[in-house]
């Protein structure tokens, strides 16, 4: 799931992915060393406008949500 300010804005399942997570991890591990805690972001269908002050979230069942505040760099 992709969340924005505590609301789900996109939801999908692994079954709908073009490439399986196993293939993706294998592919990238041939080019670089993957370490515990590394994140491979594959994106999600659709888009939503984000603004400074928003909180974007990535949610995967069984894991704690990854929350990122949206800030504007000077």
The pLDDT tens digits of the residues spanning 5-40 come to 999 998 888 888 899 999 999 999 999 999 998 988
The pTM assigned to this predicted structure is 0.64
- How sure is the predictor about 45, in pLDDT bands with cuts at 50, 70 and 90? low
Q: Say how far apart CA 74 and CA 70 lie, in whole Å.
A: 13
Task: Give the Cα separation of 18 and 4 in Å (integer).
Answer: 24
Q: What is the pLDDT at residue 44?
A: 66
């Amino acid at each position: 799931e992709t969340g924005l300010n505590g609301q789900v804005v996109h939801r999908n399942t692994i079954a709908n992915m073009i490439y399986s997570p196993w293939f993706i991890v294998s592919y990238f591990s041939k080019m670089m060393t993957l370490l515990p805690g590394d994140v491979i972001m594959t994106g999600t269908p659709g888009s939503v406008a984000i603004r400074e002050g928003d909180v974007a979230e990535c949610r995967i069942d069984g894991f704690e949500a990854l929350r990122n505040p949206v800030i504007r760099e000077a």
